Amino acid sequence: MADKLNWPVFTLTSGPVDAYPAVLRGLGRTVSYDFDPAFQLFYENVAKKAKKAMGLKNAPVILHGEPVLGLEAAAASLIAEDDVVLNLASGVYGKGFGYWAKRYCADLHEVEVPYNEAIDPADVAKALKKRPETRIVSLCHHDTPSGTINPAEEIGAIVAKHGAYLITDAVSSFGGMKIDALSSHSDIFVTGPNKCLGGVPGLTLLGVSERAWKKMKKNPKAPRASMLSILDWQDAHRHDRPFPFTPSVSEINGLDAALDVYLEEGPEAVWQRHALTAKACRAGVKAMGLELWAAREEIASPTTTAVKTPKGVDEEKLRAAARSLYGVTFSSGRGETLGKLTRIGHMGPTAHPIYSTIAISALGGALNALGRKTNTGAGVEAVLATIGKKI
Ligand SMILES: *Cc1c(COP(=O)(O)O)cnc(C)c1O
């Protein structure tokens, strides 16, 4: 059967992504018993590495499910019934967080912009002025189904000045560009290994501020003895068992390796190759006569390039052609952006500029195969010229 599965040659998606070879080797480590002192020490060391990588004051909480778990847990734990929440939506994920938030509070207001745009910090300031009782703000830094970046640091400064708490979804930006909990004034900063860190889906990393811990402890509805609990993990080591439940041992092995790759290469170098890969890809897209989805290039993500589907082209058929002709997998849009764009991921091991020649070749070739004449050669030339120039 295995030979009939027809695996892709290149997975150029926006997550899950191709994992680094070192991560795959890490996953091959034996599975330790979670009560074993050696495993507990190893776990603490992985948390320390994550703290360093994330630039946190305290070790992050590691939750044992892919980052949707962390996002839902953040909503359930931090938001109290009487909180007024401001949700910022510039895409499907930002909007989606609002639905969780609504489950835990009675009063939610939103700033929403078209899904090819970014949130304007001035609009956040206005919304807070209009509703000064707002206690929690939620932001998706990189709304992946749109490939657009929000100005998290500027927004965070406004939220901090107001005295509200900020929950930031940095799942698909952390590790691929400069973003961290402290500089974005985030009280809960959510990320995971399966995007720019080139790891595998199965864990959430949560940076939690001191005041967020206090607020969660005061929230009578914050989950306890639950998969959604963040509180259970703070003092995990002080109880009669080392963890609230069996951690995902293999995922921790993989995370350890992903963090080593990131820290050994150096965050700045990793961000630089993400930025250059995306810049080269955007140059290729434009040179082929295609359009970027992002309304302005300044807000286009360094970790994902979203390409507007040309008129008359069936987006699903376009990805299917790239997959069947070349073995290249791209991501589709999601929700509102589904069918309107194709996403090329630049995350972890695929955030090397030469992958953009592959992406542009497969995209142009697939369009030609569907009868939409595209100058693929010009696209590839533009990618190579951009790589040559550096940034
Ligand atoms: C990938 C991602 C998540 C995790 O969600 P999945 O849809 O389960 O992959 C959350 N937020 C953002 C912004 C993401 O890119």
The fourth-level CATH superfamily of domain 267-389 is Aspartate Aminotransferase, domain 1 (3.90.1150.10)
Give pLDDT, residue 22. Answer: 98
**Which residues line the pocket of ligand 1, CB cutoff 6 A?**
15, 66-68, 93, 140, 142, 144, 169, 171-172, 195
Residue 42 pLDDT: 95
* 3 state SS of 63: strand
Residue 130 CA to ligand 1 center (angstroms) comes to 31
Q: CA nearest 199: which of 5, 50, 77, 91?
A: 50
| Entry field: residues in the chain | 391
Determine whether domain 21-264 maps to CATH 3.40.309.10: no
Question: Each residue of 33-65: pLDDT tens digit?
Answer: 999 999 999 999 999 999 999 999 999 999 999
Q: What is the pLDDT of residue 343?
A: 98
Query: Taking all residues of the chain, what is their mean pLDDT, rounded to a whole number?
Result: 96
Peptide bond into 302 cis (omega under 30): no
Task: State both tokens at 113.
Answer: 């912009």
Contact 109, 127 (CB under 8 A): yes
Phi-psi region of 247 (alpha: psi -120 to 50; beta: other; left: phi over 0): beta
Exposure on the CB side of residue 40, measured as CA atoms within 13 A: 10
Q: Where are the domains of the chain?
A: 21-264, 267-389
Kindly give the distance from the C-alpha atom of residue 345 to the centroid of ligand 1, in angstroms, as a whole number.
13
pLDDT in tens, 313-365: 999 999 999 999 999 999 999 999 999 999 999 999 999 999 999 999 999 99
- Contacts of residue 382, defined as CB under 8 A and 6 or more positions apart, other chains included, come to 280, 283, 284, 286, 287, 288
Q: Residue range 271-279: average pLDDT?
A: 98
d(CA 300, CA 142): 9
Q: How far apart are CA 16 and CA 18, in angstroms?
A: 7
pLDDT over threshold 80, residue 391: no
CA of 71 to the centre of ligand 1 (A): 9
Structure tokens at 71: 């996002």
Mean pLDDT of 200-220: 98
Report which of 138, 53, 64, 70 is spatially closest to residue 102, judged by C-alpha positions.
138
pTM for the structure as a whole: 0.97
So what's the pLDDT on residue 28?
95
369 CA from centroid of ligand 1 (Å): 31
Nearest-CA residue for atom 11 of ligand 1: 171
Q: Given pLDDT bands bounded at 50, 70 and 90, which one contains residue 236?
A: low
